[in-house]
């Protein structure tokens, strides 16, 4: 049979299926997704579509005729209700059953549910349909409150502010981007947004949401539109009900295989072994695509471990924020100013005084240089950077 079934229609699933065909897999491939839209690029949801509207020719991951041409069975608007690892079968809510030899779970993540009275008055921004709903509401709204100061929240906040809306960001922590960036660069980002007119309310707890806005312990925030951007959680329910090991995601080994043989997990939902023995889960297009390509090689007979440097980006108004490596592993951070404000870089050093990550604002060339060096396994010491006056290009020549 050699049938491969995917649950999910995001970047990870589509890339893995495409890579399998590129590598010569000729067996049946089925991709199952709950959304009715053809698989699409997700970043524009918060960066563009919510403000400008979803175009009829929205950005597809593959052309509409790709799946038929590649003999990939794409089941849209279908929800998997259960997985039976022993029988090697998935069952849909429509009662249809599909057998598999290999199963890839790429269910991604979903918006974090906030148990707040009146939360039904707020909209989230995850799917293409969410973008359509937000766009319709935003057209007539003059004021917007965004709950959550992470990447998604700040992307939509900056886009709304650029469109002339009065915007407030409500964050529970003491700083925006606290789980994603070094405190130094997070503060820089905050200052840029505040200078652009975005009001940031930190260390706030929410009492309730109403049609008029958001009530917090810091006062009432008037808003004609309230958006939820308080992060996401991995969709592990199917895996857990099937008896698969889960923690902060679906647990996989270095080859992305779950605790059930022949069942794999990739993308936002996969919690995998990381450098130094820890386990990590990353929500990024890069991670989804790289895991997809790695798994396709393994399923094609070339057993390949997933060992890739993570990198991320976030476009927030005039800010292009890029990260290579994991700055949370840093023992020390050194900030370098660029030639044109607000250009800056945060050099992150580990316990051995070697560069483990770089965060940049509006400095894509620096990001690309660092990303390649770290991906190639280059050891860049603090001493070598100091000797080069933190000129990364010069330091790498030595």
Which of 244, 272, 299 lies at the terminal end of a domain, its last residue? 299
311 domain-assigned:
no
206 domain-assigned:
yes
DSSP E strands, 52-163: 72-75, 80-84, 89-92, 97-99, 102-105, 109-111, 122-124, 143-147
CA 284 to chain centre: 4
Cβ density class 215-249: b for 16+ within 10 Å, e for less: bbeeeebebbbbbbbbbbebbbebbeebebebeeb
In tens, the pLDDT along 334-390 reads 999 988 889 999 999 999 999 999 999 999 999 999 999 999 989 999 999 989 888
312 domain-assigned:
no
Pairing of strands 213-216, 219-222: antiparallel
Classify residue 255 by its DSSP letter. Answer: T
274 lies in the same domain as 252: yes
Dist CA 332 CA 355 (whole Å) = 10
> Taking residues 146-153, what's their average pLDDT?
93
> Taking residues 26-49, what's their average pLDDT?
89
220 lies in the same domain as 260: no
- Total structural domains within the chain: 3
Classify residue 112 by its DSSP letter. Answer: P
Would you say residue 1 has pLDDT above 60? no
Tokens standing for residue 193? 């947004």
> Taking residues 265-294, what's their average pLDDT?
92
Dist CA 335 CA 181 (whole Å) = 13
88 lies in the same domain as 124: no
Would you say residue 167 has pLDDT above 80? yes
37 lies in the same domain as 118: no
189 lies in the same domain as 53: no
pLDDT at 49: 84
Cβ density class 144-167: b for 16+ within 10 Å, e for less: bbbbbbbbbbbbbbbbbbeeebbb
pLDDT at 98: 98
3-state secondary structure (DSSP) of residue 203 = coil
CA 259 to chain centre: 24
- Quick one: which of 192, 187, 221 has its CA closest to 204? 221
> Taking residues 222-227, what's their average pLDDT?
97
219 lies in the same domain as 247: no
> pLDDT category, 207, cuts 50, 70, 90?
very high
88 domain-assigned:
yes
Cβ burial of 110 (10 Å; 0-12, 13-18, 19+) is middle
In tens, the pLDDT along 51-79 reads 888 888 788 999 999 999 999 999 999 99
> Taking residues 311-339, what's their average pLDDT?
91
pLDDT at 275: 74
99 lies in the same domain as 25: yes
Would you say residue 302 has pLDDT above 80? yes
**What is this structure's pTM?**
0.91
What residues are paired with 325 via a beta bridge?
A: 357
pLDDT at 47: 67
24 lies in the same domain as 80: yes
> Taking residues 183-191, what's their average pLDDT?
94
> Cβ(188)–Cβ(342) under 8 Å?
yes
> pLDDT category, 276, cuts 50, 70, 90?
low
CA 188 to chain centre: 22
Q: What CATH code is carried by the domain that includes residue 91? A: 3.50.50.60
- What is the helix (H) or strand (E) element at residue 117, kind and residue range? none
329 lies in the same domain as 287: no
Would you say residue 208 has pLDDT above 90? yes
Q: Which residue has the higher pLDDT, 232 or 169?
A: 169
> pLDDT category, 229, cuts 50, 70, 90?
confident
Q: Which of 33-42, 286-295, 317-326 has the highest mean pLDDT?
A: 286-295
- What is the helix (H) or strand (E) element at residue 169, kind and residue range? strand 166-170
Q: How far apart are the first and last CA of the chain?
A: 54
104 lies in the same domain as 126: no
Which of 228, 245, 262 lies at the terminal end of a domain, its last residue? 228
Domain that holds residue 223: 113-228
pLDDT at 128: 87
Dist CA 107 CA 257 (whole Å) = 15
Sheet containing 219-222: give its strands across. Answer: 206-210, 213-216, 219-222
3-state secondary structure (DSSP) of residue 358 = strand
Dist CA 216 CA 219 (whole Å) = 5
Angle at 341 between CA 229 and CA 344, to 5 degrees: 65
Mean pLDDT over all residues of the chain?
93
185 lies in the same domain as 249: no
């Amino acid at each position: 049979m050699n049938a491969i079934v995917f649950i999910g229609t995001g970047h990870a699933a589509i890339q893995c299926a495409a890579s399998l065909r590129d590598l010569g897999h000729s067996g049946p491939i089925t991709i199952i997704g709950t959304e009715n839209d053809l698989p699409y690029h997700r970043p524009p949801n918060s960066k563009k579509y919510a403000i400008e509207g979803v175009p009829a020719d929205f950005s597809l991951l593959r052309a509409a005729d790709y799946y038929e041409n590649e003999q990939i069975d794409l089941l849209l608007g279908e929800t998997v209700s259960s997985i039976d690892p022993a029988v090697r079968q998935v069952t849909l809510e429509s009662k249809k059953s599909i057998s598999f030899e290999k199963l890839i779970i790429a269910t991604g993540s979903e918006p974090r549910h906030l148990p707040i009275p009146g939360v039904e008055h707020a909209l989230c921004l995850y799917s293409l349909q969410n973008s359509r709903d937000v766009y319709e509401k935003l057209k007539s709204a003059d004021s917007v409150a965004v709950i959550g100061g992470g990447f998604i929240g700040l992307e939509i906040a900056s886009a709304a502010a650029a469109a002339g809306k009065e915007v407030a960001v409500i964050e529970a922590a003491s700083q925006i981007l606290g789980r994603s960036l070094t405190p130094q660069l997070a503060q820089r980002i905050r200052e840029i947004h505040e200078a652009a007119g975005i009001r940031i309310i930190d260390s706030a707890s929410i009492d309730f949401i109403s049609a008029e806005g958001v009530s917090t312990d810091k006062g009432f925030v008037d808003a004609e539109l309230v958006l939820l951007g308080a992060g996401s959680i991995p969709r592990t329910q199917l895996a857990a009900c099937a008896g698969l090991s889960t923690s902060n995601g679906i647990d996989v080994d270095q080859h992305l295989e779950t605790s059930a043989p022949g069942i794999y997990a990739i993308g936002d939902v996969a919690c995998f072994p990381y450098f130094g023995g820890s386990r990590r889960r990353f929500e990024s297009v890069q991670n989804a695509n790289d895991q997809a390509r790695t798994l396709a090689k393994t399923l094609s007979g070339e057993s390949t471990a997933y060992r890739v440097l993570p990198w991320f980006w976030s476009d927030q108004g005039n800010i292009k924020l890029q990260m290579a490596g994991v700055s949370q592993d840093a023992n020390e951070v050194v900030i370098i100013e660029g030639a044109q404000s607000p250009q800056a870089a945060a050099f992150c050093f580990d316990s051995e005084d070697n560069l483990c990550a770089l965060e940049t604002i509006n400095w894509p060339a620096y990001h690309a240089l660092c990303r390649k060096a770290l991906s190639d396994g280059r050891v860049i010491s603090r001493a070598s950077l100091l000797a080069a006056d933190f000129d990364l290009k010069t330091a790498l020549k030595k």
